[in-house]
């Protein structure tokens, strides 16, 4: 990291926890660039899963059951 980056980091570390969290959120969001090809693939995947569910080919799992699996 260059000198300017070090200065920004030093200033950021003096922020409150809430301000740091907001800064991190904004920095991460700035890295998230839309990708039309990936979005199209996910849209197709979602549509396929919904159709499979509606046709009875796949089932669902209750949220509590999923959460319980990862709590234990």
Dihedral angle computed from the Cα positions of residues 18, 22, 28 and 33, in that order, rounded to the nearest 10 degrees? 160
Domain ranges of the chain: 1-33, 34-72
Q: What is the pLDDT of residue 72?
A: 74
pLDDT digits (tens, 9 = 90+) for 1-51: 899 999 999 999 999 999 999 999 999 999 988 999 999 999 999 999 999
Q: Which two tokens stand for residue 6?
A: 């070090």
Q: What is the pLDDT of residue 52?
A: 98
Tokens of 50: 């919904």
């Amino acid at each position: 990291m260059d000198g300017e980056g070090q200065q920004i980091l030093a200033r950021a570390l003096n922020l409150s926890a809430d301000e740091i969290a907001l800064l991190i959120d904004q920095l991460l969001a700035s890295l998230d660039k839309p990708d039309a090809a990936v979005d199209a693939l996910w849209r197709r995947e979602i549509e396929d899963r919904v159709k499979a569910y509606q046709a009875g080919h796949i089932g669902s799992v209750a949220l509590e059951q999923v959460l319980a699996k990862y709590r234990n």
